[in-house]
Each structure stands twice: as C-alpha cells, then as structure tokens.
Structure 1
Amino acid sequence: MTGAARPAAPAALYECVITHARTTPLRHSFRHRTYLWCVDLDRLPVLPRPVRPLARFDARDHFGGGTDSIRAGLDAHLAAHGIDLDGGRVTMLAHARVFGFVFNPLTVYWCHDRSGALVCVVAEVHNTYGQRHCYLLRTDATGGAETDKAFYVSPFFAVEGHYRMRLPPPDDRLRLAVHLENEEGRAFTAVVRGRRRPATVPALLSAAARSPWSTAAVWAGIRRHGIHLLLRGLPVHPRPRTAPQEGTPS
C-alpha cells in the first residue's frame, strides 16, 4: 500500500441505542442496546490475549471474504468502481466477533484519500440468510445520500424502493439513520445513536458486561421480532432465487 505515514487513529467504542421503526403496512418498533467498534482499517486493535475472545476482526466477515484483510477486500470493491484511495485512511464502524460469532446488519466504511478528504462511504449490509451487499455512496456535507434498494434484507419488504441515509463520520457522538421509502411512503427507519469511549480493556469489559455476546443478541433480536410480525399476520415476500454476490457493486 502506498501513501505517506500518518498518525494512528485510536480505536473507539460506541455504546449505542439502535431503534427500528416500521410504519407500513402495520406499525412496529423496538430498541436495543449494544456497542460498536470504530477502527482504522490499517491499524486494527491488538488486544491482550485474555480478552481477545471479546473482539476479533476477520476478513471472511466482509466483502467477498476471500482476501487477506478487510482493507484488501474494500480496496478490491472500490477498484471495481474505478476508485483508488492511494493509501488514504479508512474508518470502519462494525461489530467485532465475540466468542467466535458476528452478525453485522450494517458496517460503514468512511474512505479518505491521501490528503484526508472523504472520497466515498461504503455501506455493507448483511441479512440473516448469510448474504451481504455493498452500497457505494457519495455523501453530501451532512453525510446524506440516496440509493435504490438492491438487496433482500427483511422478508417483510420486497426488493424495491430506495434508501435515504445519513451517515456522517462519527466524532464524540454517533448519529446514523437509514430510511426505506417505497410507493407507500416512508416504510422503515433505523437509527443508531451512541457516545464515544476510548477502546481500553476496562471500557470493553464494561460494554461486554452490559451487552453480553452482543452480536448474537442482535441476530436473535431480529429473529424474535420477525416471529412477532409473522404472528401479527404481516405478509412475507419470498427471497429472490438469485441475490447479489458478496461484495459486488450495488
């Protein structure tokens, strides 16, 4: 990788409240607490051995899963769109593996060039069927962007409509929002709010104590609320026979 040397961006933890709100064809909402990592892709944190089961970042969990590092997977994805960061910094917001398990409904990558300017944002979406898809976004000054929906996420929504996203780079506060709009209007909103903490071992242990096995809890919560919606009679849209390949352009 080319590029001038730059100071390491310290890893951070965001203790978050995530809210999901569905408005059509019936109303349903829920909130859950978790924590997310914010890391420099070129300087992933190295934890003391006793706490490593609480956080591991693995290339197989992102993009095509066949590269030596997450950064290599991202660079290959960007190259397919004609983008070369020339060694610029990439900040990733994601869950880490906890006791060997991870589920990331949304991983966000803020991609900068060598000068530090933000070039693009990549939103990598996973569904509970083991599939993933990446949206390449050109955000405005407020972190806003729009893109057509191109990936099956929830069985209660067809692959149609478009997203309005607000994904400003995180600072002391994390403020993300994703809105799904279709012919019936705004159908779904997901909001992430969090406060930054240095990624120290005590902070990690504290977050893990409040949200044990956090990634499994997220996966189980989505499944639990899906069952609830089924019992309320919400119709299911069958999953398409073909889906975007992992890490392919949107």
Structure 2
Amino acid sequence: MTWQRFVAVGDSFTEGVGDPGPGDALVGWADRLAALLSAAQSGVEYANLAVRGRLLGQVVDEQVPVALALRPDLVSIVAGGNDLLRPGADPDALAAVMEEAVVALRATGADVLLATGVDPRATPLIGRTRGRSATYNAHLWSIAARHGAHVLDQWGAAWVQDARMWDVDRLHLAPEGHRRTALAAAAALGLDVDPSWAVPLDPAPQLPRRERVAGELAWVRSFVVPWVGRRLRGRSSGDGRTAKRPVPTPV
C-alpha cells in the first residue's frame, strides 16, 4: 500500500503526550509513524488533529469532519480510552459511535487504522476497567473485519506491559513506548520494519516493597487525585488546547 496524506485523530495518546520533542513540542507514535511512511515513500503529507482529554464523541464530532475535509487516504482514529475510565461507561455504545466514524471514513476510500487499548491488568485502579476495555477491544476487531480497517494490537503486546515503556503518570507512553508503537503500527499497515520492536526488555530488578508502596502513594497523590478533581469540576486536561498539526504538510 502507498499513501500520500495521513491524518491522525484522537486524544492524548495520538497527540503524543509522554514523548517530548524540542521546546514544548510533542512527538508521539503518530508523528513517528508518519516519518516511517515518509521513509518508505516520498511525498507523504501529515496532519495530527488529536487533542488530549477528548472523549470519543468529541473526537467524532470535532475531528473526524475536519479529517474528511482534508481528503486523506490514510486515517488513524484511536479514542474511547478516556470514556472507559469513567464509571458507567458503556463499551457497546462507544463501539456503535466508533463504527459510524469508520464507515464515514471508509466511504471516502481512505484506509483506516484502529488500535486496541492496552490490557490494564497490572495497573492499580485502572485495572478495574479491564472488563469493559476488553469488550470495547472485541468490538474494534469486529468493526475492522466488517469494514476492512487495520488494527494496531496493543492488548496482546507483551512489551507494553513493562513499566519502563510508560511515563510517570502510567497513563501515557514514554518515548520508547511511542517508538515501539509507531513500529507496531507500521507493521499493522504492512510496512517492512525491523521486528525487534516486539521483543520485551530484559526483566527489571524488583524494587523493595517499601519503595513500591511509596511509589503507589506518590502516583495517587500526583495523578489520580488531580484527575478526580478535574472530573468533579467538569474540566479536562485538553481545555483550551487545539490540534498541534492541523494542516497536512510534508513530513
């Protein structure tokens, strides 16, 4: 497959949070994937419309129409994770919204890249969402099969369970995690890439129990409590933010 215009839509995962670049810029797996596409063929243009904190409905209502207007031949749409963190989230309803977006994108002839969520089994608190996350992921595979979309499988990736792949907030990938995700996405699209991205790191030394407990408490104070506070105030980490790369430009 060859693509000339790649547009990425979604939330903080696609915006690139956790993968800082020069100055205040963010890189992220989508930027890295665009570079891989450009290396495989010349003339690729790329836009990234993702904004952190966005729910699936917001991505579909605010970003997908803009993406369609840009006339891409490849679109990545990864969203729903923020919804699934909220109590009472309905993965079946989310899947229906996602399918409508995929249908609209595929109707233009564009290829679509979806991504399953990461299995949260090893993360305290977030692990409580595992059941509805698994249900949503199953829907994504079915949507892809019905409409001919590609799927980046994060749920089944062993390497992504390594804490060293994650930023200190445990919600966003660190630079190495973004790098490997870009390579995994390229492989899902059929590009010929070095398969070493799928090899897990050697096991890390086990921390003493006291350090593990202290780390958990620090994580709750630094990230969980502020997140709950924003929810109670009806605020989002993406309030006032706009897309970092709204216009397709050469990579």
Normalised TM-score (structure 1): 0.31
Relative contact order (C-alpha < 8 Å, sep 6+): which is higher?
2
Larger helix proportion of the pair = 2
Normalised TM-score (structure 2): 0.31
Larger strand proportion of the pair = 1
